[in-house]
Chains A and B, each alone.
Chain A
Amino acid sequence: MIELKHVTRRFGPTVAVDNINLTIETGEVCVLVGSSGCGKSTTLRMINRLLPHSEGEILVDGEDITTMNAEQLRLNMGYVIQGTGLFPHWTVARNIAMVPQLLKWPRDRIDARVHELMTLLDLDPATHANKYPQQLSGGQAQRVGVARALAADPNILLMDEPFGALDAITRENLQLEMLRIQKQVRKTTVFVTHDIDEALKLATRIAVMDQGRIIQHDTPENILRRPASEFVENLVGKQDRGLKLMSLRPVRQLMQAHPAPKRPEPGAEGLKEEDNLRLALSVMLWQGAEQVPVFNARGEETGVITRERLIQEGA
């Protein structure tokens, strides 16, 4: 758990972060979102003490971070940044092994961990372990960045616009990857982004920041349904809200389930249970269909979703 109490940060006369209170529960993904210069990165960098805070307290698991050794604190916090910051003179495997090496793990434990993480992040150890960062694509490099952050199994993960410099398709893939990995490892995550869609997709709770203050701290659904101010309303896109709400809910919640899963007709196209309602609507519009079958992970048809129900209850 991370608690920020009345935290302020000044750079000379300017106030970058203005008396904020924020509690991030264990295992949740808190996304700080806001435009450039709103203080979101500053807030993140105060949590691992890359920047000292001017006033207030920051507690990690109940302990004031100023009383801890800064390096020890950071060794227990994975840190991922936009430019990856991989060491260009180290191989992928050595980059990932950085923190375990600092913690002086035995050699074979490090090797096993590197192998495990590369597999988790969908990087083939055989082909990529001995490559250098310059030989990777942007998406692969950022996967290595995430693997490096997770290497010593820290409790906390800090991510500063990690996918900001990637193209749309790679970013989307990595976001899905994030969700998948988060389900497996359940890290307390603080994620900074200026992309509200990314925030809505990844967050358990979103903190909207503007001019160094937290305007609203709530679940993605509440941010969309009950924006606290005009600023938040504009940020989420006033008229776009319907579709954004739909993209938060999986098809599973609104489908009419069959009594028992049945074998799909050959060649039938449909949705997966975890696809969102927005996608369901899009499929219906494209196919001109009144209803679309829904399949589970094993490929069995478990239900159908109808256009009527989607329009009535989707948002």
Chain B
Amino acid sequence: MRLWLPPVLLAVLLCGLSAGMPALEPLFHWVQPDKQQVIYERESFLFLLQNHLLLVLISAAVGTLVAVAGGIFATRPSGRDFLPLVSQVASIGQTFPPVAVLALAVPVLGFGEAPILVALMLYGLLPILRNTLAGLEGISPAVKEAARGMGMSPLQVLVRAELPLAGRVILAGIRTSVTINIATAAIGSTIGARTLGDPVIAGLVNGNTAYVLQGAILIGLLALATDSLFEALERTWDRRFSPQVAV
């Protein structure tokens, strides 16, 4: 149970801070003494947090599905030919800046949540894809050979051996992807998506450091909470599927 304590504490802190930000007004006055208004009030922090989280969750879910499916396909005998292509795309895609994806998506999808969702999906897909490939390729050929030779069907080999053995690496890929996307989602505020990036952008435009701080702190806390959640998940996975590490 101690495993789950840090993510729960961080989540409580995050929600508490989102709801109770006005209580910290004196502190932000001290940071930004020349402004009348130091607490961002155009939108409630809780709403922004919820929207931010929703964007990340949807993109992570779609990204995971597509990337894991793609990784599995590229490592099957029928998809082997695509393996070099897929793994190159996974590597090159990482170097493509998310802002560029946004700039390209806006003319097609317009302003709002849609273009940032597309950018997050594409961008979040890549670390998961790369790790799925690494995880599946990293399994000892002897294990797969024995499994096939003992009479397992390809699907049984995948479900009973390959995915449990590659799962830890895939999970690490999802962790990287989600953490990056929590930061990237904030950029969505520049094209009209409602995220925790809103106070940051507003603060930058108005020269109000207090706004910037409020947005940045919440984004940082969200990233920390999510990361510690994945830490707990990975530990749980280890206990379940690679007990030799935990023993």
Which residues of A are in contact with B by a Cβ distance under 8 Å?
A: 48, 50, 71-79, 81-89, 98-99, 102, 132, 134-135, 145, 148-149, 158
Contacts and interface: CB of A to CB of B under 8 A. Distances in A.
Contact of A79 (B146, B164, B165): B146
24 contacts: A71-B153, A74-B148, A74-B150, A74-B151, A75-B150, A76-B151, A79-B149, A81-B142, A82-B142, A83-B142, A84-B142, A85-B142, A85-B143, A85-B144, A85-B147, A88-B244, A89-B165, A89-B242, A89-B243, A98-B150, A102-B151, A132-B244, A135-B244, A148-B150
B34 interface: no
B152 A89 contact: no
A84 B156 CA distance: 19
B149 A134 contact: no
**Binding site of B, secondary structure by majority: helix, strand, loop or mixed?**
helix
Contacts of B164: 89
B161 interface: yes
A191 to B, nearest CB: 15
Given A83-B140, A89-B164, A48 B149 contact: yes
Interface residues of B, number: 23
B169 to A, nearest CB: 13
Nearest to A135: B244
Nearest to B139: A88
B241 interface: yes
Interface in B127-147: 140, 142-147
B241 to A, nearest CB: 5
Contacts of B148: 50, 74
B146 A84 contact: yes
B246 to A, nearest CB: 10
Contacts of A102: 150-152, 156
Most buried by A among B145, B164, B165: B145
A48 B146 CA distance: 12
Contact of B143 (A48, A88, A99): A88
Most buried by B among A89, A98, A149: A89
Contacts of B241: 89
B122 to A, nearest CB: 33
A43 to B, nearest CB: 14
Contacts of B144: 85
A87 B143 contact: yes
B140 A71 contact: no
Contact of B243 (A85, A132, A149): A132
B145 A50 contact: yes
Given A102-B156, A134-B244, A88 B147 contact: no
Nearest to A75: B151
Nearest to B160: A87
A48 B242 CA distance: 30
A52 B145 CA distance: 15
Nearest to B240: A89
